[in-house]
Chain A
Amino acid sequence: MRVDPSAVERASQSGFAAQALHRLGPHTLIVAVGLIVVLLPLVLPSNFYYRVVALVFINALAVLGLNLLMGFAGQVSLGHAGFFGIGAYAVALGPTHLGTSSWLALLGGVAIAGLLAFVVGRPILRLKGYYLAVATLGMGLLIAMVFSNETAITNGPNGMPVPRLELFGWRLSGPVTWYWISGVSLVLGTWVAVNLIASPTGRALRAIHDSELAAGVLGIDVARYKLLAFVLSATYGALAGSYYALFDGFVTPDAAGFLRSIEFVVMAVLGGLGSILGSIVGAAILIILPQALTVFHDYEHIVLGLIMIVFMIFLPNGIVPSLQARLRRRRT
């Protein structure tokens, strides 16, 4: 295609300006998340708060992965806690039964979750919408059932202890240590997600979300990219699960349970599908709010439910995207 050079010049100048803005956006996000992780300890008064924030970071990591799949590639998963559980049980079972180091077990758990997503994803990602939701739900239930029924090695529903992580003879335990491990991991996870979204791979995933038909006609191997998003989100989930178990020192089949899967989806939707910052905000609200609402005693869950309904009514696209849209409208 021959193109009028002056038109290209003009268009690409405006394009570069927009790109500069665009690039400022995501990288500002990485810096902002980094600053929060570094500065938050200045205002955290006790170990209890470190513990809560570390849980936020760990959940945010899992939700970030789920958001790559749901918010960007547009494929729902109601079984994501299954991958979280695989990560969690890997660091429990590996050292206990196989005598591997916790580090190796952690990597192994992530690899197994990714491999399982690869094998299961091929057939079930052909399904769409509700059918995919039900298939992933079944996958999650199956994984949880294995952990709860294999009592000989997992001790069943009672759960099992998780040996602590060690680094050069130091035992990595306690809220402050895990605050830093999960915080740094979240910054790295955000960085990778932001990079991916701005790359040809990210554009392919977003294109699939809006029209699989058009994506295919443009040369995108739709099945392959859906699978990539599924595997990637599974590895984020498994890493978060490993951290969760190592931090807690104990794991039960609830780690892989249906309720946790739903929690991840709620965090992603509440914070904002397709928003990286939204993943973190969604996780923060769903972890912190129940702690803050304990003053309501017996009515805690009612108030939590009401707050979530109000959020979704007034910020229907999720907290972060809805607020961003309002800011943009005010500016113009």
Chain B
Amino acid sequence: MSILEVSDIGIGFGGLTALDGVRFQVEPGEIFAVIGPNGAGKTTLFNVISGLYKPRRGRVLLAGRDVTGTPPHQLARLGLSRTFQNLQIFFRMTAIENVMVGRHLHERRNVLAHFFTLPSVAEQNRRTRAHAAGLLAVVGLSDAADRPAGSLPYGALKRLEIARALATEPKLLLLDEPAAGCNPVETGEIDGVIRQIAATGTTVVLVEHDMRLVMKISGRIHVLDQGRTLSEGSAEKVRMDPAVVAAYLGARAGSEAQHARH
């Protein structure tokens, strides 16, 4: 069974159609990329999948279960987590506390016990902190553990969001432009982190502008343009698709590119 199935999604804002008839399936353990020019509807698609928007039509199935319009905190229970294109960091908390928040669903949440810090709560806090420290090590942020998140550089915050999303132990992880604003070294690090995540069986769906990163790590690529599906397939297939080239470079350049190949 597909871990994620998006069928015939349609959504609009006012008179503007943002997504129209988008459909695809993602299989467990793969790295699946959604690309497209600016305004193609990539982040809107992510917001629909992660429950922030309710689509006008179409369905989202998570491991075969209809989750269309389910609020984010319930989707988290079903194994979906995500990062944000424009960072959503808990700036007043330290880096490790940010990741500890991600353990929320795996902690016992008995408020009465929390009032009195029963020994079990203290013990649980230790376990949560140790788990978070391990995830900070995965994304290379061990040294920043106890620094306020607000004081970390942009690239580090991108990785902190990934560590925080991983703390929920997702089956499906949505990464919204994980390499945006990162320099080549940081992009290389994120590349490694994403492969490592996928290698442990977590399915990764990412939106990304950095084509080199996308072509390198994605198993399959889904191309959107103006809210519609343009193409889907392997990196090789998508790169050769004249429609994709046209969408990115303009129609004339597309036909020229085709001529150039012949």
Binding site for B on A (CB under 8 A): 1-4, 7-8, 10-12, 14-16, 18-19, 192, 195-196, 198-204, 206-207, 209-211, 213-222, 228, 274
Contacts and interface: CB of A to CB of B under 8 A. Distances in A.
B67 interface: no
Given A8-B130, A15-B129, A200-B109, A220 B145 contact: no
A15 B261 CA distance: 56
B146 interface: yes
Contacts, number: 155
30 contacts: A1-B200, A2-B200, A3-B134, A7-B138, A8-B130, A8-B134, A11-B133, A11-B134, A12-B134, A14-B133, A16-B129, A192-B115, A195-B115, A195-B117, A199-B117, A203-B97, A203-B104, A204-B101, A207-B90, A209-B92, A210-B90, A210-B93, A214-B88, A214-B89, A217-B81, A218-B101, A218-B164, A218-B165, A219-B76, A221-B73
Given A15-B129, A214-B84, A218-B168, A4 B137 contact: yes
B115 A18 contact: no
Contacts of A214: 84, 88-90, 164
B13 interface: no
B134 A14 contact: no
A201 B89 contact: no
B76 A217 contact: yes
Given A200-B104, A214-B90, A195 B116 contact: yes
A192 to B, nearest CB: 5
B91 A1 contact: no
Nearest to B163: A1
Given A3-B137, A210-B92, A195 B101 contact: no
A185 to B, nearest CB: 15
A200 B93 contact: no
A204 B115 contact: no
B101 A12 contact: no
Interface in B63-104: 71-73, 75-77, 81-82, 84, 88-93, 96-97, 100-104
Nearest to A195: B117
A200 B134 contact: no
Contacts of B116: 192, 195
A248 to B, nearest CB: 29
**Top 3 A-B residue pairs of the complex, sorted by shortest distance between their CB atoms:** A219-B76, A11-B133, A199-B114
- Tell which of A16, A207, A214, A274 has the most Cβ of chain B within 10 Å: A214
A218 B81 contact: yes
Residue among B97, B124, B202 having the largest count of chain A Cβ atoms under 10 Å: B97
B129 A219 contact: no
Given A3-B135, A196-B111, 20 more contacts: A1-B169, A1-B202, A3-B138, A4-B138, A8-B130, A8-B134, A10-B142, A11-B133, A15-B96, A195-B116, A206-B92, A210-B89, A211-B90, A213-B88, A214-B88, A217-B50, A217-B72, A217-B76, A218-B101, A218-B164
Nearest to B132: A15
B128 interface: yes
B84 A7 contact: no
What does DSSP make chain A's interface, helix, strand, loop or mixed?
A: helix
A2 B113 CA distance: 31
B35 to A, nearest CB: 22
A200 B128 contact: yes
Nearest to A196: B114
Interface in B168-213: 168-169, 197, 200, 202
A201 B138 CA distance: 26
Given A12-B129, A201-B109, A213-B84, A219 B90 contact: no
B168 A15 contact: no
B152 interface: no
B125 interface: yes
A7 B152 CA distance: 21
A206 B90 contact: yes
Contact of B115 (A11, A19, A196, A217): A196
Contacts of B92: 206, 209-210, 274
A219 B77 contact: yes
Given A201-B111, A203-B97, A217 B130 contact: no
B123 interface: no
B27 interface: no
B166 interface: yes
Contact of A19 (B117, B126, B136): B126
Contacts of A14: 133, 142, 145-146
Contacts of B200: 1-2
Nearest to A3: B134
B124 to A, nearest CB: 8
B101 A220 contact: yes
A82 B104 CA distance: 33
Nearest to B130: A12
